[in-house]
């Protein structure tokens, strides 16, 4: 996974911690993708896409756990 997990964004106080982490992660992945396009770097794009897939898998697991509690 790319070293984007450090949340460099300052979230507003109204946002929950999960929401700000989620948006920070997506912003970092998008930034990595844009950088890969600019540099025409396939390996960087591949790593960003793998990070996006990992993120989506984690979100899916969390959503499944919430639905299982209901």
pLDDT in tens, 11-68: 434 445 566 676 899 999 999 999 999 999 999 999 999 999 999 999 999 999 999 9
Distance in angstroms (rounded) separating the CA atoms of residues 21 and 27: 10
More confident residue, 28 or 4: 28
Q: What's the domain count of the chain?
A: 1
- Domain presence at residue 8: no
Residue 47: its pLDDT value, please? 97
Domain for residue 16, yes or no? no
Domain contains 27? no
Asked if residue 34 belongs to a domain, the reply is no
Contacts of 64 (CB under 8 A, 6+ apart): none
Structural domain including 48 reads: 41-70
Tokens of 63: 């959503």
Q: Which residue has the higher pLDDT, 10 or 17?
A: 17
2 lies in some domain: no
What pTM, to 2 d.p., does this model score? 0.66
């Amino acid at each position: 996974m790319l070293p984007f997990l450090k949340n460099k964004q300052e979230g507003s106080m109204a946002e929950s911690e999960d929401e700000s982490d989620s948006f920070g992660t997506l912003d970092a992945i998008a930034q990595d993708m844009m950088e890969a396009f600019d540099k025409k770097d396939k390996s960087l794009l591949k790593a960003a896409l793998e990070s996006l897939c990992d993120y989506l898998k984690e979100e899916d697991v969390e959503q499944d756990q919430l639905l299982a509690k209901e």
